[in-house]
Copies of this chain bind each other. A is one copy, B any other.
Amino acid sequence: MFHETFREAWALRYGAAPDFEVAGIDRFLTHRSIRKYRDEPIPEETIKGLIAAAQSAATSSNLQLWSVISVQNGERREAIAQLCGDQKQVREAAWFLAFFADHHRLRAAAAAVGESAAGLDYNEFYTMAVIDAALAAERLVCAAESLGIGICYIGALRNDPDGVRAFFGLPEGVFGVFGLCLGWPAKGVEAEIKPRLAQEAVWFRETYGPSPNVEEYDARMRPFYERQGMKGDATWSMRSGRRVDGHHMTGREVLQPWLQRQGFDRR
């Protein structure tokens, strides 16, 4: 797993080999979600090292507006898997980490020294905390993958925010942004590098460009969907449009009012 060279990974992402090479960054192009793991532990010291990587990510004004909770107890792991859409990789991962946008710690620390943290109600600080959590998680992920560990993000941690709040005992000002499964990839696990949109569709120069032609991407994704056994002949555009049509929210349609009750995004 994660063995492809820069040229190989590039060709899988974009459909054709590049006419150049950037030495030394192969491993950053080879990510794929891993959902089947060997029955082999990841030592706690490794996780401590990875948390140190996460804490080494940039954080706006050094506010560190994020937290992480590991769930290793067997019964609790089963329960959080249920809360996350009953995904088996949550149950089976060597470690399950939940990442949180966290205003609570700073609010408490500021109150203890007589300083206000009243501005945290602004969307700006919701956005900042989500960014902090994501930067921390992705640095941890890059470090984990460099050790050969497979990961899978779990957006379904947002499916039932009340359930997640009760499960973790969250105070006001803490929101579960996503989960993260970590485990050693199972032998023979099939997990392809997924094609992505052409660079020209994502990267513009100087100003925002005209909407790109995604038909070539739709065509490139078709054989990928077939190999993955995904039914029907819908294209990426059709599948993605349906995914965001408002009828497939899996509980997340409550997020805005829930966040406001939880102390985020109030103004």
CB <8 Å contact, A52 and B29 = yes
Instruction: Please judge, given known A-B contacts A130-B127, A131-B177, whether A243 and B204 are in contact too, CB under 8 Å.
Output: no
Q: How far is the CB of A199 from chain B (nearest CB, A)?
A: 6
CB closest chain-B residue, reference A123: B256
Within 8 A of B (CB), among A84-140: 100, 104-106, 108-113, 115-125, 127-128, 130-131, 134-135, 137-140
On whether the beta carbons of B115 and A55 are closer than 8 Å, the reply is no
The answer, among B71, B205, B241, for a CB contact under 8 Å with A109, is B241
Total count of chain A residues near the partner, CB < 8 A: 127
Query: How far apart are the CA atoms of A243 and B178 in the complex, in Å?
Result: 26
A196 at the interface (CB under 8 A from B): yes
Is A82 interfacial (CB-CB < 8 Å)?
no
Measured CB to CB, the closest approach of chain B to A83, in angstroms, equals: 14
In the assembled complex, the Cα of A6 lies from the Cα of B146 at a distance in Å of 14
**This chain: how many copies in the complex?**
2
Residue A261 CB within 8 A of the other chain: no
Q: Are A205 and B139 within 8 A (Cβ)? A: no
A119 touches B20 (CB 8 A): no
**In the complex with contacts A196-B56, A202-B68, A236-B62, A134-B125 CB distance below 8 A:** no
Contacts of A14 in B (CB 8 A): 52
A38 is an interface residue with CB less than 8 A from chain B: no
- Name the CB-closest residue of B to A197: B64
User: Which chain B residue shows the least CB distance to A55?
Assistant: B196
Shortest CB distance A246–B (Å): 3
On whether A246 and B116 interact (CB within 8 A), knowing A30-B56, A147-B24, A211-B104, the answer reads yes
